[in-house]
Each structure stands twice: as C-alpha cells, then as structure tokens.
C-alpha cells in the first residue's frame, strides 16, 4: 500500500510513525507547506517525493491512497480532489467546517468506488473500544456521557507549540470528537442539540469557551464542556455513566468510577488510537469494504455540528 501524506505537522508525524509500524505500507509522497519541511520529513521516512503541491502527489501513479492532515479549512476541497483523482482517502477530523461542505464531500464519495474515511480517532482508542464492546454485548447501558475538552491555546499555536497558519475551532474540530463518539456509543442518532458559546477572542475570531448538550433518540444525554483558556491538565476526559457502572476514559487509559484501573491492552493490536485508525483504513482498502468511521457513518455528526453553528450564529 503506497501512501501520500499531506500536512507534515504535529498530527501528520503521528500518522507517519503509526504507518511505520504497519506491514507492507510505504510512504511515497510528503506534501507540506514549505519545500524544506516536506524534504526533511520525506528523507526521514523514506518517501521519494517531497512537494508543496497536493496535485503533484495526486498525479503520482505510485500513490494508492492519501492521508490528509492539512488545515481544517482545506479538508473538504482536498478530499474531493483526492477522490476525483482516484485515490482512497483518510481525512483527519473534521471532514469540513460547514454542513454544506460535509454533505458535498459525501455526495462525491458515494459516486466513486474508493474508500473515504474520516479520522474520528475516539472510535479506535482501546479505552472507548472497551466500552463499545460492552454496550454491544448488552453488558453496559449508557445513560450519560460527561466530557471535558480542555486546552491552553490563547495564541495560534499547534500541539508542539509552533505557530499555525490557520485557526483551530472548538466546535468543528474538538466538539466533533464527542458528538460522533456519543452517537457511536449510543448506537443511535442525536435528536436534540444545544450550545452556549463564550466571548469571541479579539484576535483568533472564535469563541474560546463552549458548552454543548446532546440527547439521543432514546433519551440518553451528553454534556460537553470545551475551553482554549484552561490552565491545568490538558486533553479530553470522558465519564461514562450507566446502570451497570461508571467509567472514566482519557485517551487510552480507563478506570472505574472508583479509580480502579481497567486493563485495555488486550482490546486491540496496539494501544495507539492513530495506528489502529490507520490499520482500519488500510485493511478496508485491501478488503474492499466500508471502514469504521467511513464518511457515511460519521456524516450525521456534521449535521449536528451545523445545527449548533446556526445557534451560535443567531
């Protein structure tokens, strides 16, 4: 499987490290914002092509599939271009930053015989997989999710502390993880969604704090708090509350409500959610099937986000 990776920033490097642990996968092309960065990363990971132009990777006959880790605002357009070029696509979350763009990508994806997957990594983290397996087995009936997504990002920097050329978004990026995961764990759609947004940052132009409430078709609820103003432990913390227990998940760590550690090392072949996501993408291509977190399976998340954005706008 020959892969082109576009966006060799902090998260792109996570994908490259993950791909290096998967058999019979070769990274053949790196697309980045500057030629020097593209060449440096290409040299490190053994890619033959380094470029600043996505179309050069798409025109490369040696490329079977593309992983897009580019700025959010480019995802929809680049996903369509990649699909129309005949490439399989894994586009990092979010698929788009508007419901109309997400819907357009889904329409194109449905018209081509290529795998199109969105990087909803929480579906693949072993901690959340452990919960999902028990829900499907009827051993855990989810009643409520309580989620905190907290970062300290008052300037436009990425996870490595480097300046970004684009602005991240609490709703379309970070809330998307929880909106999709809630529906996935419930096994049903979201029928009601509300949002309150805090003050807009004078420079970044986005709300820095947000509160989201969700209700599933059968009445399960989710409360999500998000902030870019947080000075404290960073990341996302999930509390699952059900009739049969309470569980707390943070990335790949899982405990009961009484802080008893749950071993999730046996859930999958790796503890790295990004690696498991990439393995699913490659396996789906090889097996000619729809992957978990295919564009069709996550599309309703973007409908809900569109509803929330409309509330913020009005």
Last residue of a domain, one of 73, 106, 121: 121
pTM of the model: 0.94
Is residue 51 predicted with pLDDT exceeding 90? yes
Query: Does residue 49 lie in a domain region?
Result: yes
Query: Does residue 115 lie in a domain region?
Result: yes
The per-residue pLDDT for 233 is 86
Asked if residues 26 and 2 have their Cβ atoms less than 8 Å apart, the reply is yes
Query: Does residue 267 lie in a domain region?
Result: yes
301, 274, 242: which is closest to 20 by C-alpha?
274
Looking at the structure, do residues 7 and 68 belong to the same domain, yes or no?
Answer: yes
Looking at the structure, do residues 110 and 135 belong to the same domain, yes or no?
Answer: no
Q: How many CA atoms lie within 13 A of 26 on its CB side?
A: 11
Query: Does residue 295 lie in a domain region?
Result: no
Core vs surface per residue 78-96: b (16+ CB within 10 A) or e: bbbbbbebebbbbbbbbbb
Looking at the structure, do residues 79 and 55 belong to the same domain, yes or no?
Answer: yes
Looking at the structure, do residues 253 and 104 belong to the same domain, yes or no?
Answer: no
pLDDT tens-digit readout, 78-94? 999 999 999 999 999 99
Q: For residue 35, what is the domain's CATH number?
A: 3.40.50.720
Q: CA Rg, the chain, in Å?
A: 19
d(CA 134, CA 275): 22
Looking at the structure, do residues 155 and 198 belong to the same domain, yes or no?
Answer: yes
pLDDT tens-digit readout, 241-253? 999 999 999 878 9
Query: Does residue 292 lie in a domain region?
Result: no
Last residue of a domain, one of 121, 156, 177: 121
Domain range holding 22?
A: 2-121
Looking at the structure, do residues 92 and 156 belong to the same domain, yes or no?
Answer: no
Is residue 155 predicted with pLDDT exceeding 90? no
The per-residue pLDDT for 312 is 95
Range list of β-strands (E), 167-305: 190-197, 209-216, 221-227, 235-242, 245-250, 253-256
């Amino acid at each position: 499987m020959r892969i082109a990776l576009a966006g060799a920033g902090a998260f792109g490097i996570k994908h490259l490290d993950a791909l290096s642990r998967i058999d019979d996968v070769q990274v053949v092309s790196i697309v980045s914002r500057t030629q020097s960065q593209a060449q440096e990363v290409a040299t490190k990971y053994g890619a033959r092509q380094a470029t600043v132009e996505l179309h050069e990777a798409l025109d490369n006959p040696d490329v079977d599939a593309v992983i897009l880790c580019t700025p959010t605002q480019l995802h929809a357009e680049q996903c369509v271009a990649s699909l129309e070029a005949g490439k399989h696509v894994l586009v990092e979350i979010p698929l788009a930053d508007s419901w109309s763009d997400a819907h357009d990508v889904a329409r194109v994806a449905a018209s081509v015989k290529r795998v199109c997957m969105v990087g909803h990594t929480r579906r693949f983290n072993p901690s959340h997989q452990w919960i999902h397996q028990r829900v499907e087995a009827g051993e855990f009936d989810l009643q409520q999710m309580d989620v905190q997504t907290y970062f300290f990002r008052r300037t436009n920097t990425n996870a490595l502390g480097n300046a970004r050329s684009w602005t991240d978004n609490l709703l379309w990026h970070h809330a998307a993880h929880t909106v999709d995961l809630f529906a996935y764990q419930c096994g049903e759609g979201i029928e009601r969604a509300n949002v309150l947004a805090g003050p807009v940052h004078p420079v970044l132009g986005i709300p820095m704090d947000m509160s989201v409430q969700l209700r599933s078709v059968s009445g399960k609820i989710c409360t999500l708090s998000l902030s870019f103003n947080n000075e404290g432990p960073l990341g996302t913390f999930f509390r699952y509350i059900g009739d049969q227990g309470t569980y707390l998940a943070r990335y790949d760590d899982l405990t009961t409500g009484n802080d008893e550690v749950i071993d999730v090392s046996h859930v999958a072949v790796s503890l790295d959610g990004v690696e498991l996501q990439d393995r699913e993408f490659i396996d789906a291509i090889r097996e000619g099937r729809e992957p978990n977190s295919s564009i069709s399976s996550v599309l309703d998340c973007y409908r809900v986000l569109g509803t929330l954005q409309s509330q913020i706008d009005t």
